[in-house]
Amino acid sequence: MNLLFATSGVYPLIKTGGLADVAASLPRALLKLNIDVKIVLPAYASVLAQTEKLDVKTLSTISVLGREILLQQTRLPGTRVKVILVNIPEFSERIGNPYCGPDGSDWPDNHWRFFWFARAIETIAINQAGLDWPVDIVHCNDWQTGLIPALLSEHQTAPACVFTIHNLAYRGLFSHQAFAELNLPESMWHHENLEFYGQMSFMKGGLSYSQKITTVSPSYANEIQTPEFGNGLDGLMRYRQNDLHGILNGIDMEEWNPNADEHLLHKFNRRSLIGKQENKLELQTQLGLDVNAKIPLLGFVGRLVDQKGLDLILAQMSLLLSKNCQLVFLGSGFQHYETALKNIAAQHPHKMAVTIGYNETLAHRIEAACDLFLMPSLFEPCGLNQLYSLRYGSLPIVHAVGGLADTVFECPINQPDNKANGFVFHSATAIELHHAICRALEAYQQPDFWKKLQENAMSRDSSWDKSALEYSQIYLDLMK
Ligand code: ADP
Ligand code: GLC
């Protein structure tokens, strides 16, 4: 089976969030199932800047609507996975974030950029790109790839599309003017196709035209069929419920392995947690916190956006700071969250440390050093950070939504079962979050109970094996 996996990001070449982690690890798991998978990615300037390390070769030049587009190929570093790079100047000559400029607003020509990306993929998918590689299935991811199923629907014979929703909150919305510029068939401007309340939605293209839709957890698959989580697309999700599957994300168990993690100063595992404590002492020292193994350390790593529940965290912060605990934040995003967190940390330098920016090493070190991991997201399609923290024995405190509800479980204090691995609250309020943190801090004082929760957490199998099989079954069904 030849599978073309279309994504706007893949770790370690280019990453803004969890999509890049999934795009790196799922294809590797599919290769193990004997699926010949090739990733197709925009040739961003930052990717091409790594060419010396990467060994990029030219595949072909294709002509799309009179425009010449260069296709190149490299391999995902350290793997056998091939990556086709779609090289157009709108990607290759623009430095910075894939989706937005330095001021945080979207690149004004995003509709064009991801239109050309989709057109190039259309050409590969119908085997007109000179690659001599007939594609059986195109697997699309999020709005950036939403036009691909729409374009392929115009062909008599074309491979089937699977479209994965990683986050329905980003709908890829553009004006009618943008739709007109792209010169797409007029029939696509329809509420059952690309049109969404007077705008064009790339996401809706993926949802309307693909043969199967998946999303990244079973709970999120249910949630997006409701108005509360559907972002206006819940009607369409209900309409397509028979084609919609919730498949839980896995993680790269090698990249995120506390016993072999090269970012860590001290390795550890389920049976020997001394290294975890040493990492905690190192991090406390590095960040200027009071150095004391006994003080519970709470961590947060993530995009500083509404989705991640920062309003809840901030609203109960003064209560939390009155407790005997420490807090470590790493993230970047909305200015008001960055400023608020930095201001609080400045007032409590021995209790709270905030690092603004993107830092892979620090992310690993926080996962390893913390006792508890904060993830009170308002919604969370899957979430990878709680999976990383489980593997690193840092018990997650989560709001019971999406993938968080599917992976983190709580039990009454001192009555452990074989499932309990964290702390869960059910309504998105600051006080509920605070109560969950208090339960966690109480549990921390019960060493045997804590140990059992950590054991449950660290022995969770978060590998891709099971989920990759589910994807392969969907591909096979479509090929019948
Ligand atoms: P989302 O995709 O919504 O951002 P996930 O939990 O699925 O959330 O994935 C987030 C990924 O991005 C994780 O790998 C996390 O470690 C990483 N990440 C987020 N912010 C940062 C940061 N500031 N520095 C390093 N890694 C980060
Ligand atoms: C999105 C979601 C996150 C998910 C990730 C990978 O960015 O916000 O919950 O884990 O995609 O699927």
pLDDT at 350: 97
Structural domains of the chain, count:
2
Q: Examine the domain organization and report whether 311 and 209 are in the same domain.
A: no
pLDDT of residue 237: 98
> Does 229 share its domain with 371?
no
Minimum CA distance residue for ligand 1 atom 22? 358
Residue 303 CA: nearest ligand 1 atom is 20
Same domain? For 439 and 411 the reply is yes
Protein residues with CB under 6 Å of any ligand 1 atom: 17-18, 21, 301-303, 330-332, 358-360, 363, 382-385
Residue 299, strand partner residues: 328, 373
List the chain pLDDT tens, one digit each, 480 residues: 999 999 999 999 999 999 999 999 999 999 999 999 999 999 999 999 987 788 899 999 999 999 999 999 999 999 999 999 999 999 999 998 999 988 888 999 999 999 999 999 999 999 999 999 999 999 999 999 999 999 999 999 999 999 999 999 999 999 999 999 999 999 999 999 999 999 999 999 999 999 999 999 999 999 999 999 999 999 999 999 999 999 999 999 999 999 999 999 999 999 999 999 999 999 999 999 999 999 999 999 999 999 999 999 999 999 999 999 999 999 999 999 999 999 999 999 999 999 999 999 999 999 999 999 999 999 999 999 999 999 999 999 999 999 999 999 999 999 999 999 999 999 999 999 999 999 999 999 999 999 999 999 999 999 999 999 999 999 999 998
How far, in Å, is the centroid of ligand 1 from the Cα of 405? 18
- Which of 8, 301, 342, 387 most suits a substitution to test ligand 1, by most atoms within 8 Å of the C-beta? 301
pTM: predicted TM-score of the whole model, two decimal places = 0.97
Ligand whose nearest atom lies closest to the CA of 365: 1
Do residues 398 and 471 share a domain?
Answer: no
**Do 104 and 228 have their domain in common?**
yes
pLDDT of 357 reads 95
Q: Domain for residue 413, yes or no? A: yes
Q: Are 372 and 297 in contact (CB under 8 A)?
A: yes
Q: Quick check: CB of 219 below 6 Å from ligand 2?
A: no
In a domain, 429, yes or no: yes
* Angle at the Cα of 81 from the Cα atoms of 78 and 83, rounded to 5 degrees: 105
Residues 296 and 387 reside in one and the same domain:
yes
Say which ligand is closest to the CA of 246: 2
Burial class from Cβ neighbours inside 10 Å (0-12, 13-18, 19+) for residue 60 reads middle
- The domain containing residue 369 runs over which residues? 274-459
Q: Which atom of ligand 2 is nearest to the CA of 216?
A: 12
Protein residue with its CA nearest to atom 21 in ligand 1: 302
CATH number, domain containing residue 117 = 3.40.50.2000
How much distance in Å is there from the Cα of 320 to the middle of ligand 1? 24
| Residue pointed to by tokens 């470590």 | 328
Q: Are residues 430 and 469 in the same domain?
A: no
Do 73 and 118 have their domain in common?
yes
Please report whether residue 268 resides in a domain.
no
pLDDT value, residue 96? 87
Q: How far is the CA of 218 from the centre of ligand 2 (A)?
A: 13
Token readout for 459 is 């022995």
**Distance from residue 444's CA to the centre of ligand 1 (Å):** 26
Residue 194 lies in a domain: yes
Residue 264 covered by a domain: no
Output the pLDDT for position 50.
Answer: 86
Is residue 116 a part of any domain in this protein? Answer: yes
Examine residue 12 and say whether the peptide bond preceding it is cis (omega within 30 degrees of 0). yes
Domain presence at residue 269: no
The verdict on 280 and 207 lying in the same domain is: no
Residue 255 lies in a domain: no
Distance 94 CA to ligand 1 centre (A): 23
User: Does residue 203 sit in the same domain as residue 326?
Assistant: no
Cβ proximity of 9 and 20 under 8 Å: yes
DSSP string over 50-70 = THHHH--EEEEEEEETTEEEE
Do 242 and 165 share a structural domain? Answer: yes
Ligand 2 atom with the smallest distance to the CA of 381 is 9
**What pLDDT is attached to residue 54?**
83
Judgement on whether residues 206 and 323 belong to the same structural domain of the protein: no
